[in-house]
Structure 1
Amino acid sequence: MASVDSTGLIVSGRLRSGDLLHAGLAVALLLGVWSVGGLEVSTGKVNSIEALNGSTVLLPCTFTSCVGIKNLYFDWHYNDNGTMIKLCEGKIPDDKKEPSANVSHKRLEFVGSSKNKNISILLWNITFEDEGKYICFARNPKENNRNHSATFTLKVVDQLKEVDNTLTVIIVSVLGGVIGLVIIVMVIKSLVVHTVSTSLTMVINNKECLVSSSGNDNTENGLSGAKADNKGTPKA
């Protein structure tokens, strides 16, 4: 009867566990890379707008993909109280070809461009009925039909709110006054330093002139020849 080495079984089990762990890490890494570089759709940093009744608004939408695109499908829908109404749809063959779009709304215009990865739309002469949520959707067959969507909210008003800039004006005025005061102080400081420096220079020059003038006067008065006068009268 064959004997079983328990140590061997433990080592084998550890190896299998290690292999599974490595395989799991590899899969997680691949999924992470795929997720980071995958298709993403965005309506920008501000995903809502307040527009005036009767105006024209841009509903922005862009896409990104580090992998690249191939026959990218995109569409726009309007959420009418839970009912999704298609506004337009289209395809982009690749990064170098412009998109083709089919518009199914009479006041809508597709303004996207594959060069800028842009699939935005314009909505003309908006009414209060146009208020609501607009969904931008894209699907990339090159990434195993990975898809992504983003929502943009439109609010229609009769009159735009006036922004109260009083606080901003006060802050700018105070800052301007402070800056102006600092500049004035610096100018005065420079003038004072220049004046003091000039005065010191004049004082020093005057002292040198006085010393020089005093030396010349002493010479003229015979002070410098005092020693010669003190000599004895030469013998005959």
Structure 2
Amino acid sequence: MASADSTGSSVSGRPRSGDLLHAGLAVALMLGVWGVGGLEVTTGKLSLIEALNGSTVLLPCSYSSCIGIKNLYFSWKYENNGSDVTLCESVIPSEDVEPKVKVTHDRVEFVGSSKTNNISILLWNITFEDEGVYACFARNPKEKNRNHTARLILRVVDQMKEVDNTLTTMIVSAVGGVIGLIVIFMAIKALVVHFLHKDDEKNKECLVSSSGNDNTENGLSGAKADKKGTPKA
């Protein structure tokens, strides 16, 4: 049922369009802040790591959150044909507080630090059986248990592939040759301009000298003519 306000106008019990607009903006703002500051973990730019059999390999992982963390749970797991094997796990109480990591694999070492948001691990003396997918997981209760997982693939090889730098060498040589030709051309051009400038200066000096000589000779001839034309007393 409609009611009347102090001005006598009828007010409906349904929410006004302005209230709906404000509520929508508030929800959108909250979602925007949630999306920008949400927890994320990353294993770097490479999703595939190749390592020699018997070597030690670093499995990188880091986390970020603009909102901050509290009791952040993280773990490393080895995914093998649908069965996950936990390698290590821990909880970071707050920022800059180092976690007490529980390592459940004899060849795994935690090398991260909460001061740098780093939760990387080392895998020692790898074998071909260590090939597969490794998952870095984190969950942040401060963000209503928002969680994220980043994965990378480890490939174990007998020997590392030699990188063929033939094409790179050819390109560098070609570019160097072009640069060298440009430098030589500029040097020759500078020398030619220099000699032409000198020739111009010599020509100007010759013209000046010739003009002075002509004027001098003309003056002397006139003087002689005047002397010869003067009658003796």
Q: Same fold (TM over 0.5)?
A: yes
Contact 1:99 1:112 in 2 (8 A): no
Secondary structure of 1:152's aligned partner: strand
In structure 2, the partner of 1:183 is 183
Alignment partners' CA distance in 2, 1:14 and 1:231: 132
In the superposition, the TM-score normalised over structure 1's length comes to 0.86
Read off the aligned partner of 2:52 and give its amino acid letter. Answer: L
In structure 1, the partner of 2:210 is 210
Work out the number of aligned pairs and report it.
228
Alignment partners' CA distance in 2, 1:190 and 1:114: 61
Contact 1:76 1:134 in 2 (8 A): yes
In structure 2, the partner of 1:159 is 159
Q: Which moved more, 1:95-104 or 1:194-203?
A: 95-104
1:225 CA displacement: 2.2
1:49-198 superposed matches below 5 A: 49-198=49-198
Alignment partners' CA distance in 1, 2:231 and 2:127: 129
Alignment partners' CA distance in 2, 1:169 and 1:13: 79
Alignment partners' CA distance in 1, 2:185 and 2:12: 82
In structure 2, the partner of 1:37 is 37
Q: Which runs of 5+ in 1 are unaligned?
A: 3-7
Contact 1:137 1:148 in 2 (8 A): yes
In structure 2, the partner of 1:223 is 221
Q: Aligned Cα RMSD in Å?
A: 2.6
Alignment partners' CA distance in 1, 2:21 and 2:196: 80
In structure 1, the partner of 2:5 is none
User: CA, structure 1 residues 224+107, in 2 after alignment: closer, same or farther (shift >3 Å)?
Assistant: farther
The percentage of aligned residue pairs carrying the same residue is 60
Secondary structure of 2:67's aligned partner: coil
Contact 1:39 1:64 in 2 (8 A): yes
Alignment partners' CA distance in 2, 1:96 and 1:159: 40
Q: Which moved more, 1:205-214 or 1:179-188?
A: 205-214
In the superposition, the TM-score normalised over structure 2's length comes to 0.87
Secondary structure of 1:211's aligned partner: helix
Alignment partners' CA distance in 2, 1:19 and 1:176: 69
Q: Which runs of 5+ in 2 are unaligned?
A: 3-8
